[in-house]
Structure 1
Amino acid sequence: MINCTLKKSPETSHTEALARAVTGQLEKDGVEVDTVRAVDLDIAPGVVSEAVHEGDAWPDVHARILASEILVIASPTWLGQPSSVAKRVLERMDAMLSETDDEGRPVAYNRVAGVVVTGNEDGAHHVISEITGGLQDIGYTIPGQAWTYWNQGPGPGPSFLEGGSGHDWSRKTARAMAANLLGVARALAERPLGPPPR
């Protein structure tokens, strides 16, 4: 799970709180979970998987992504958009479009992905569409209902951990998201996609 909050550790991340409903369910089902808080790392701008400068943390994150069969991108909503951190992560993942495995498949093939969104404003559906659209371009399989979100609706209001309504729905949807991600990941492991026809 890549948490794309703007808040550095150890600040409380409302986005991580909801994402834990997904990762917690995956852990209950026996999945090993690795979490990255991207804002804590020096991730340089660019569209390559290699380090852009000394200390660029992206190569390690890239390796962790490739070690995972399930990817969850979690982002807050700002002005109805994914966070700048989420956009940076997707920007660096763009390099995966030209990376292939030993059988000639795009490296994201036979991997699944989903999205978690929080915000005290509207825009969750747009953020989900932006992120899943990018992940599909890269080659990820996006199962049905592979997302959960919480937002307070129009106008400012409390953040996820501060109150408001809809928490039970968001957590229930998170558990369904986890089940769908795991079910499709298992199906792809059993019957993987082959290389695209030439």
Structure 2
Amino acid sequence: MKALVINCTLKPTPAPSNTEALAAVVVAECARRGVPSEVVRAVDLQLTPGVERDMGGDDQWPTVHEQILASEILIIASPTWLGRPSSVAQRVLERMDSMLSETDDAGRPVAFNRVAGVVVTGNEDGAHHVISEISGALVDIGFTVPGQSWTYWHLGPGPGPDFLDDERGHDWARSTGKAMAANLIGVAEALSVRPLGPPPS
């Protein structure tokens, strides 16, 4: 079993990412439970606008698509900007739209029997809205989103310091992140035994 984290920060490498710092808590708990993770910083890639699996040219989405299909657990990590997911997160979800028409060898949607969760950071409120928007899109695509498969950090209301600049609220965000990892792995394991799929014809 493997996990993939798509970090949708607006900051290209090597800039420190508050969102990646919180996602690292989930990655560490997954590793402690025997599940390795890979982290992709989407802003570093050429992700061409569109809803096809491969938009041609220098589009790098096909590689990310392969990484998603090679993982049983997907985590979308996004900062909150103006109370909404980042523009990079929206681009990632739009590119995942192509998965709606893809099926596996058994005729099941390719997102079936994969679980997904959300990590959110921001120095103002809006985390629950971001979680809802991303989770809803992932369910539409076919992922299973377990209960409490998210964690977030903010110091709302109003602007303030960033996750890496202030220790307030870290204990809660970390404990919730560990619970998130446990729930994602637990449901992924259950689906591996009793997979979802269309009823026999």
TM-score by length of 1: 0.97
- Of residues 7, 18, 21, the one that matches 2:22 is 18
- Residue deviations 1:84-123, cap 9 Å, x none? 0000000000110111111111000000000000000110
Give the match's secondary structure for 2:130.
Answer: helix
Deviation at 1:173, TM superposition (A): 0.0
Match in the other structure for 1:157:
160
Structure 2 residue runs without a partner (length 5+): none
Matching residue's letter, 1:47 = V
The question of whether the paired residues in 2 share the 8 Å contact of 1:158 and 1:164 is answered with no
Matching residue's letter, 2:84 = Q
Match in the other structure for 2:172:
169
Match in the other structure for 2:32:
28
Sequence identity, in percent? 69
The question of whether the paired residues in 2 share the 8 Å contact of 1:2 and 1:38 is answered with yes
Summarize the alignment of residues 1-198 of structure 1 with structure 2, pairs less than 5 Å apart.
1-50=5-54, 52-163=55-166, 165-195=168-198
Deviation at 1:53, TM superposition (A): 3.1
Alpha-carbon spacing, 1:104–1:78, altered in 2? closer, same or farther (3 Å) = same
CA-atom RMSD in angstroms: 1.0
Deviation at 1:154, TM superposition (A): 1.2
In structure 1, C-alpha distance between the alignment counterparts of 2:179 and 2:128, rounded to whole Å: 17
Give the match's secondary structure for 1:35.
Answer: strand
In structure 1, C-alpha distance between the alignment counterparts of 2:31 and 2:130, rounded to whole Å: 26
Matching residue's letter, 1:18 = L
- Residue deviations 1:39-87, cap 9 Å, x none? 000000000112x131110000000000000000000000000000000
Deviation at 1:197, TM superposition (A): 6.4
The 4+ residue runs of structure 1 with deviation greater than 3 A are: none
Structure 1 residue runs without a partner (length 5+): none
- Residue deviations 1:140-195, cap 9 Å, x none? 00010000000111111000010152110000000000000000000000111122
